[in-house]
Amino acid sequence: MTSYAINPEDGKLTYINKIALDGGKNPVFITADKTNRYLLVAALQGGAVYVIRREENGALGEVVSVWRFPGKTDETISHAHQCIWDQEKNYLFVPQQGRVIGYAGVSVLKFNPENGTFIETDYFRAREYSEPRHMAIHPNNQYCYLVNEKDNTVTWFFFDQNSGKIEPQQIIPVLPETYTGEGQSSAVLVDKSGKWVIESTRIHESLSIFRINPLTGYLTRVETMKVPGLTPRFITFNDDGDRLFVANEDSDTIIQYAFDNITGSLTQLQPVIATESPVCILFKSL
């Protein structure tokens, strides 16, 4: 893991320090706790979430705790692909892909900001080989949406903030009913208005848009549209929530869309941004 300082004048980065994660091969997702004293990292090939102390100057400190996700044998793991907070940053959701040697599922971990440790409040065992990948949390902090990479579906859960439990309510396909080819779902978002879920799928190279029923949380797929580019691995909104950005890993481009939260429609904007193998996008106001 490497830390950089951001120059507030021009956004340029300056190296601070680097630390190693013992057994933490292939870190794929990082987030900070609500005190900003800890960084939490999901390591895909390490099968764990690492809690790293953050120093006041932004440097990475010591690893204070590790939560591991075992596989089907003592020597295997369950491939944690994300660690995302509920809206209050009290609970951490960790989708695990399983990948044959491990278990496909989602863990809910309650975080203790006093010492950087966890207590597991719930675990959901997903369908075998569905490979849960990423989640998105609704602004109401009750609806959670999980994208499953290999069976190309979204699962929505009701989340009880008091108990830390999740209860599955619906599994819905992301691809058209007439499509018989391959696909690999990659990312999922809930827009700021709480009206829409947007999902990206590789191989099919598409975005799917779902309307959220405000009373029940249930999804209705309203459109699946092709993305100009290859391998839309990552999607995100800007801070205002009126622009969607799609990172096309294998065509080396970022596509911009105007997003209408009344109709859920996406309109492509120019320019197409050329950059090498984009896999993640973050925004920082200067």
Q: How confident is the model at residue 16 (pLDDT cuts 50, 70, 90)?
A: very high
Per residue in 156-205, pLDDT (tens digit) is 999 999 999 999 999 999 999 999 999 999 999 999 999 999 999 999 99
Residue 284 lies in a domain: no
Residue 35 lies in a domain: yes
Q: What is the pLDDT of residue 285?
A: 80
Strand partners, 200: 187, 207
Residue 263 lies in a domain: yes
Residues 183-209 as b or e (16 or more Cβ within 10 Å = b): bbbbbbbbbeeebbbbbbbbbbbbbbb
| Domain boundaries, position 77 | 2-274
Residue 201 lies in a domain: yes
How far is it, in rounded angstroms, from Cα 219 to Cα 170?
8
Whether 79 and 70 have beta carbons less than 8 Å apart is answered as no
Residue 282 lies in a domain: no
Q: What is the pLDDT of residue 272?
A: 97
Q: How confident is the model at residue 284 (pLDDT cuts 50, 70, 90)?
A: confident
Q: How many domains does the chain have?
A: 1
**Residues near 262 by beta carbon (within 8 Å), at least 6 away in sequence:** none
Residue 279 lies in a domain: no
Whether 197 and 213 have beta carbons less than 8 Å apart is answered as no
CATH number (domain holding residue 142): 2.130.10.10
Whether 155 and 145 have beta carbons less than 8 Å apart is answered as yes
Residue 257 lies in a domain: yes
Say whether pLDDT at 278 is over 80: yes
Q: What is the pLDDT of residue 118?
A: 98
Q: How confident is the model at residue 286 (pLDDT cuts 50, 70, 90)?
A: confident
Residue 168 lies in a domain: yes
Quick one: which H or E segment has residue 14?
A: strand 13-18
